[in-house]
């Protein structure tokens, strides 16, 4: 199945793009999709357990994905 990966800020800079399509097995969790993404050049330094959103809602890293889902990796934000 295919999921759309969205990357923001630092994660976008590390991977070199803001989104990509990723082929993953059916029944894949967000964690497994992140693991698959981390095997791509430039994505190896992404954290193993980033904060994620599925279809624009915060989600557990253990959420099962469906074909066509959008998985966003949310980088840490500092402010003051």
The pLDDT tens digits for 3-26 are 999 999 999 998 899 999 999 999
Q: What is the pLDDT of residue 43?
A: 85
pTM of the model as a whole: 0.91
pLDDT higher than threshold 90 for residue 41: no
pLDDT higher than threshold 90 for residue 40: no
- Cα(1)–Cα(73) distance, integer angstroms: 19
Q: Which of 36, 40, 33, 34 is nearest to 14 (CA)?
A: 40
First and final C-alpha spacing in the chain: 41
């Amino acid at each position: 199945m295919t999921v759309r990966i969205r990357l923001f800020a630092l994660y976008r800079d590390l991977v070199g793009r803001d989104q990509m399509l990723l082929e993953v097995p059916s029944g894949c969790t967000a964690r497994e999709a992140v693991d698959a993404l981390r095997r791509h050049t430039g994505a190896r330094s992404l954290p193993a357990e980033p904060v994620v959103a599925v279809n624009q809602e915060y989600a557990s890293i253990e959420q099962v994905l469906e074909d066509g889902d959008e998985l966003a990796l949310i980088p840490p934000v500092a402010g003051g």
